[in-house]
Amino acid sequence: MLRIALVQTYHPYTQFTHVHPLGIMMIAAQARRAGFDDVRILDMKVEDWTPERCVDELVKLAPDVVGLSAMTYEAGCLHQVARELSRRLPGAIVVAGGPHPSVAADDVLADETVDFVVRGEGEFTFAELCEGLDKGRNDWSECAGLSWRRAGEIVHNPDRPPPSKLDEMPFPAWDLVDHPKYHTVPRGGVIYAHKEFATMFSSRACPWRCTYCHNSYGKTFRERSAENVLAEIDLLVKDYGVKEIVFMDDIFNFRPERAKKIARGIIDRGYKLALTFPNGFRGDILDEELVVLLKQAGMYRCMVAVESASPRIQKVMKKNLKIDKVEKIVDFIARQGVMVHGAFMLGFPTETEEEMRETIDWAAKSSFHTAAFFRVIPFKGTELFKEIEHSGYDLPKDWSAYEPYKSEINLSTVPEDKIFALRKEAYRRFYLNPKRMWRIFQSIPNKTNMLPFLTLLFARRAYAR
């Protein structure tokens, strides 16, 4: 039976936050369901490993198959690990997957140290690949979702339909990660109430078609039932001592009644969990009843993504958010005593300085406790990337330049130095407000640990390049 090692790759970046590698944890769970008991997970980010250090560990494990998962800005690390593996563990089959290989399979397979690419949601594709490898299979033409080489030529099999019945899938392989190690690193969303946390997806995909957004889960919203989500929460609380759940759904509130049922289930259990939603709600469809129920269930912080306060830019990015409704629900969330974080983006194609200032002004006057002002980055596989590529814009060939918190890719009409100055101005105007700083102090949990860290984070964003 094959020995399998799954690796979350790592490129050091300015945000220095991390959550559990749910992607490879789901891959591991499905592989074990298919009969492969010898599966290991290596998380380079939580370990802070270099590629060489990671391969040291892989050599000790001597796996038959190594799966490497990467975001776009982690592609360089993926290839470093693959090349080092080919030198030190030449018999291992190297499989790439995750958001970047899914949209850049040709680029990834141009590196001949990578043998296969699993595209899209890879649980069933990877399990089928391993079953075939275990049986000595050589022809992969019937394995949907796989990219491979036949007679030296790269072949892309048809896409595999994403799993529609999420309740029938196993829970992530929680027993394969070292839980205490995740207690000591800043997590996604940065602020936390308890160190003993777990990350969770209760659904997959978002049906809106924002030009800048990934397509990792497609555009067909698929949900786990409230009962299934609550069963995993039971497991996490009882077996792993979890006190805080970080929901990573793209749009948790798309089906409000399901979301309310989850909230009521948590309330009824009396776990007194802390809940946070760092990936966000869609603000213009978020209702007050859900906010109240989630607060009762333990929600202390959430994120509402606005991106731009300019109606024209809302149309350019195809988000078409109703800003007036967002303003009202953000005010309501804040009044409930829940910290609410705003996400904004500067630098959309054709965006002017006046439109950027419109966003900054709106954010500064809002009820958000905290906010982030990101640069617009055209990740490969997004509609925005295709638009920019077709327009002749000279995009960087170095994938590490697509790092989400520090980039000089400029798609707007505003000069680079001006955007840099506007972002610094945005952070200063937003945070150097005595009323807002007092609201943060009142609302923030775990003040002893959080306040020094947030001060450092503000300095990095407002004063450093």
Residues 191 and 152 in one domain: no
Q: What range defines the domain where residue 327 resides?
A: 186-463
Rounded Cα–Cα distance for residues 347 and 374 (Å): 9
Name the phi and psi angles at 361, rounded to 5. Answer: -60, -45
Whether the CB-CB separation of 52 and 84 falls below 8 Å is answered with: yes
- Which pTM does this prediction carry? 0.93
Q: Say yes or no: 203 and 146 in one domain.
A: no
Q: Are 137 and 272 contained in the same domain? A: no
Same domain, 251 and 360: yes
Instruction: Judge whether 434 lies within some domain.
Output: yes
- Taking the CA atoms of the chain, what radius of gyration do you get in angstroms? 22
Give start and end residues of each alpha helix (H) in 340-382: 353-365
Q: For 127-175, where are the E strands, in sequence order? A: 146-150, 153-156
Using a pLDDT cut of 70, give the percent of the chain over it: 95
CATH of the domain at 46: 3.40.50.280
Q: State whether 100 and 16 are in the same domain.
A: yes
Asked whether residue 163 is domain-assigned, the answer is: no
**Distances from the Cα of 292 to the Cα of 213, 299, 331, 362, angstroms:** 29, 9, 13, 25
Considering the domain architecture, whether residues 82 and 208 belong to the same structural domain is answered as no
Task: Establish if 25 belongs to a structural domain.
Answer: yes
Confidence of residue 387 (pLDDT cuts 50, 70, 90): confident
Residue 107 belongs to what H/E stretch?
A: helix 105-109
Please write the tens of the pLDDT for every residue from 108-138: 999 999 999 999 999 999 999 999 999 999 9
Give buried/exposed letters for 358-372 (b at 16+ CB in 10 A, else e): bbbebbbebbbbbbb
Provide the domain count of the chain: 2
pLDDT tens per residue, range 227-282: 999 999 999 999 999 999 999 999 999 999 999 999 999 999 999 999 999 987 99
